[in-house]
Amino acid sequence: MTWIFNRPSDFAKEMVTGFVSAHASLVRQVPGGVVRNTKSKPGSVAIVIGGGTGHYPAFAGLVGQGLAHGAAMGNLFASPSAQQICSVARAANNGGGVLLTFGNYAGDVLHFGLARERLREEGIPCETLAITDDISSAPLAEKEKRRGVAGDLMVFKAAAAAAERGDSLADVLAIARRANQRTRTLGLAFSGCTFPGAEHPLFTVPEGKMGFGMGIHGEPGISELAITSSDALARKLSSTLLEERPDDIAQTKGARLGVIINGLGAVKYEELFVFWHDVEQQLRAAEVVIADIQIGEFVTSFNMAGMSMTFVWFDDELEALWLAPACTPAFSRGSVLTNQPLDPVQLEQGVAVQVPQGSPESKTAAVKVMAMIDALAQTIVRNAEELGRLDAIAGDGDHGIGMERGVVAARTAASHALQQGGGVGALLQGAADAWADEAGGTSGAIWGVILSTLGTALGNSEKPDATRVAQAIVQASAGVMHFGKAKPGDKTLVDVLLPFSQALSAAADEGLSLSAAWRKAAGVAQRCAENTSQLTPKIGRARPLAERSLGTPDPGAISMAMIISTVSDCMTVNVADESTREKICP
């Protein structure tokens, strides 16, 4: 368990503040994460890494000369939002573009992909790379589906060293891709981790067993095996990793190999040294050349009892980049680098973003939209426990909590935009960023996409009508499917959003008013949400336990239908009857 904390909800924020204070000569805090506190080469590519908090030294501990320029940090085990990533990337940008690189998890893919599009729109060249080194999470034929774990370090380091020597963004991306393709990791767990203030572990492993191939968040692995000796573990992990070597490594004899032995939290250095003693014998027998060995904690999971081993199959260039100097709070190597502090002017974080002003028509509509957000926030808060129960059947049970955090934050941000004179677009855009920031995870990213797209489409000038709203919903639906990769039939909220969008467009084409068209389409959304009970999930964390969810509707689809239905209630209220309005749409 976690012993030292104040309020569990403040743990991540207080951890970051303490980390920055302890390493102020190397890093500084910016909204959304940390960046170097030292000068970087003007015109060079900036490497921005990131993911959820709870994996130290990933990700903040890897920021510094010779490694990352910045780290975007989400809440505990939750991906950072697009807004947080953009904030860090802007602060880290040296003028040569930005490479965003992260582990291949659905929420991270969504948020970093959104951030890339926003940065490009701002004129900052940007690329992304999702790291896929965990061989237990998908077969080689589907390696693009694999998770990113301790092999992250190799990709971060190679890309950063290439950026340090002045490579272009395209060349840095190519190096990062090659490093990813030549990196393989395999891990195991003996017990789960426990969040600050939690009474029970996030996941468990049966007594006397180990989860072979289990992920750092408790994702299912290959199998559960009886705990065995270090020598037997070394043989099993080594042989499995040696078998899956890159295509251009015809034989192990003479191949140059980098090895990372990573403790996940509760398995300590002494045990890792014993394990390495046994692994080395296996590698000597395979006649590989051990070019480098790193033993320690690089990607952890609170107090998770587990470990992983990473093989990096070097070529000459990757080996040189890996061995290049670096100086960060948690990883240093090579000759001492001279750290030059930033000038006071460079430390300025800029002015607060101004809320775009709305026209009189848009401001009037924004008041009504604010009432809808108030109402749907109450609906989600009231149903959060039930949404969590539905999610726990085949997922991790956090959908209700995430939705509640997101909608409450969205309500606060929308109210602020309204008070500052914003129109409908400003109100929805503010709600989008706040929802994604606070909720984190995949649902946070998706609702960020939905609200952001609606805000952009509706703008701050005109009064929304049925046709414009229907077109905005079409764009939002397309955006969700583009960034989230879900399709109809995958058992996600897309199974509600897409048919709702189609029904709303059809009703608008019939000439119905906005309220009538929305009400008609809301009935379609409700039926589609209920029908997801007959589907099995094909993507997301529920996919490995798909059969368990058969007969139960998808929680994301249900929450989507709840929100659509609540908005419909608000639209059909006679706004002149204030007593009625307060009951349904406060």
pLDDT tens across 444-466, in order? Answer: 889 989 998 999 889 999 899 99
Residue 549 clears pLDDT 80, i.e. is over it: no
Pairing of strands 98-103, 126-131: parallel
Cβ contacts of 108 within 8 Å, gap of 6 or more: 50, 51, 79, 80, 102, 130
- DSSP letter at 224 equals E
Measure the CA–CA gap between 79 and 138, rounded to whole angstroms.
21
pLDDT at 547 over 90: no
Task: Check: CB of residue 413 under 8 Å from CB of residue 436.
Answer: no
In whole angstroms, give the CA distance from residue 327 to residue 333.
7
Q: What is the pTM of this model?
A: 0.77
CA–CA dist 442, 107 (Å, integer): 4
Give the phi and the psi of residue 9 in degrees, each rounded to 5: -70, -20
Residues whose CB falls within 8 Å of the CB of residue 502, separated by 6 or more in sequence, listed in order: none
In 3D, which of 75, 215, 194, 94 has the Cα closest to residue 151? 215
Q: What is the pLDDT of residue 576?
A: 39
So where are the chain's domains?
8-332, 360-584
If you average pLDDT over residues 395-408, what whole number do you get? Answer: 86
Query: Is residue 341's pLDDT more than 90?
Result: no
User: Can you give the pLDDT at residue 578?
Assistant: 41
Please provide the CATH number assigned to the domain covering 8-332: 3.40.50.10440
- The CATH number of 360-584, from 3.40.50.300, 2.60.40.10, 3.40.50.410, 1.25.40.340, is 1.25.40.340
User: Which residues are tagged catalytic?
Assistant: 217
489-502: pLDDT as tens digits: 999 999 999 999 99
pLDDT, one tens digit per residue, over 44-102 is 999 999 999 999 999 999 999 999 999 999 888 888 988 899 999 999 999 999 999 99
The residues, any chain, with a CB within 8 Å of residue 124's CB and separated by 6 or more, are 89, 90, 93, 97, 98
Which helix or strand (DSSP H or E) is residue 405 part of?
Answer: helix 399-419
pLDDT of residue 376: 94
CA angle 65, 68, 73 (to 5 degrees): 130
Of the pLDDT bands very low, low, confident and very high (cuts 50, 70, 90), residue 575 is: very low
First to last CA, the chain: 42
For the CA atoms of 519, 522, 524, 530, the dihedral, rounded to the nearest 10 degrees, stands at: -140
Of all residues in the chain, the percent with pLDDT exceeding 70 is: 93
Query: Distance of CA 16 to CAs 33, 57, 252, 460, Å?
Result: 8, 12, 42, 36
pLDDT grade for 353, boundaries at 50, 70 and 90: low
Residues 6+ apart with CB under 8 A from 58: 49, 51, 152, 153, 298, 299, 300
Give the span between the Cα atoms of 458 and 471, in whole angstroms: 9
Q: What DSSP string describes 170-221?
A: HHHHHHHHHHHHTEEEEEEEEE----TT-SS-SS---TTEEEET--TT----
Instruction: Give me the chain's average pLDDT, please.
Output: 90
* 284-321: pLDDT as tens digits: 999 999 999 999 999 999 999 999 999 999 999 999 99
3-state secondary structure of 339: coil
pLDDT exceeds cutoff 90 at 346: no
Instruction: Say which residue, 86 or 543, is predicted with more confidence.
Output: 86
Which of 81, 73, 115 minimizes the C-alpha distance to 98?
115
C-alpha span between 483 and 114 (Å, rounded): 7
d(CA 175, CA 169): 10
- pLDDT for the residue numbered 335: 64
pLDDT confidence band for 1 (50 / 70 / 90): confident
What are 321's two structure tokens? 């980049």
Per-residue pLDDT at 445: 85
The percentage of the chain sitting over the pLDDT mark of 90, rounded to a whole number, equals 74
Which runs of E-coded beta strand occur in 336-424? none
160 token code pair? 């950063």
Residue 197 Cα distances to 3, 57, 578, angstroms:
8, 22, 43
Closest CA to 120 of 99, 104, 105: 99
Lookup: tokens for 506: 């059809």
Compute the C-alpha angle 130/202/311, nearest 5°. 40
Tokens of 262: 């990573």
- Residues of the chain by 3-state class (helix, strand, coil), percent to 5: 50, 15, 35
Q: Nearest CA to 56 among 90, 19, 109?
A: 19
Look up tokens 């980390």; give the residue.
19
Over 50: is that where the pLDDT of 580 sits? Answer: no
3 CB neighbour count, 10 Å cutoff:
6
Tally Cβ neighbours within 10 Å of residue 18: 10
Beta bridge partners of 304: 265
8 A C-beta contact, residue 81 and residue 436: yes
